[in-house]
Amino acid sequence: MKIRPKENRRRFIQTMTLGAALFTTRGLFAQTLTQTPSLTEGPFYPDRMPLDTDNDLLIINDSITPAVGEITQLAGRLLTSAGEPVRNAFIEIWQVDAKASYLHSGGRGPAGPDTNFQGYGRFLTGSRGEYYFRTVKPVPYTLGGAFRAPHIHFAISQNGRRVLTTQVHVRGHEANDRDSVLRGIRDPQLRETVLADFVPLPGSRIGELTAKFDIVMGRTAEESEGAVRGGISRPERGNRGRR
């Protein structure tokens, strides 16, 4: 059965509503949480933003043609090391499409880009630190002579200042042992914080996946009550590696 893009968006919103229940459980963070390590931004942060920058990367504006790939509902929380939610923070993600191309002029795979994939999205965390994206499961690639296992880039900005850049990888993927970024995390406990299970979404009739990735920050910019101050900010040049 074919699901139209508008129906997909409706199901996405419904999933978001149901998923919010995961973020209301009390007593989960009695101990200090392990901070998510900072990982390289890489060279392929979009050099030109898409026309659409929302949190649904499968549909660009009002297009009727969705991106190809394994549809994934990606959600989690942004937290302090004490387990407190971080609200009003911008979370950005960017990744390759199912054809191994970034939304970047220098990050095109041999097969060329999927022009229906947004490639980049952003979300403002809610009162419980929650965020949601609908995207595709990342794939391995080799660009510029560098091999990478499947991953999604994350950047967190608060009050107009970039406070964390990291990545999430597919737990158990066979290519992980070849990935130089993952190998660079020597501590197994830290490595676990950037791995997520991509598993079938219960009840999905189109084979969707779900992945949960909580991000723990070691420090946050001072936040005022009420209106959000500032916005998304780029890091200094030194945080951009060749990956």
Confidence of residue 232 (pLDDT cuts 50, 70, 90): confident
With respect to residue 187, please indicate whether it lies within any of the assigned structural domains: yes
With respect to residue 28, please indicate whether it lies within any of the assigned structural domains: no
With respect to residue 238, please indicate whether it lies within any of the assigned structural domains: no
With respect to residue 223, please indicate whether it lies within any of the assigned structural domains: no
Confidence of residue 193 (pLDDT cuts 50, 70, 90): very high
Q: List the beta bridge partners of residue 154.
A: 93, 166
With respect to residue 29, please indicate whether it lies within any of the assigned structural domains: no
Would you say residue 11 has pLDDT above 70?
no
Position 14 scores a pLDDT of 47
Position 234 scores a pLDDT of 75
With respect to residue 176, please indicate whether it lies within any of the assigned structural domains: yes
Tokens of 91: 């979370």
**Total-model pTM:** 0.85
The residue range of the domain holding 50 is 5-21+34-218
With respect to residue 92, please indicate whether it lies within any of the assigned structural domains: yes
Q: What is the mean pLDDT of the segment spanning 161-173?
A: 97
CATH number of the domain encompassing residue 205 = 2.60.130.10
Would you say residue 91 has pLDDT above 90?
yes
- The number of distinct structural domains making up the chain is 1
Three-class secondary structure of residue 231 per DSSP? coil
Mean pLDDT, all residues of the chain: 86
Q: What is the mean pLDDT of the segment spanning 17-23?
A: 45
Tokens of 73: 């509902």
Q: Over the stretch 174-190, which tens digit does the pLDDT of each residue have?
A: 999 999 999 999 999 99
Distance, in Å, from the CA atom of 18 to the CA atom of 12, rounded to the nearest integer, reads 10
With respect to residue 132, please indicate whether it lies within any of the assigned structural domains: yes
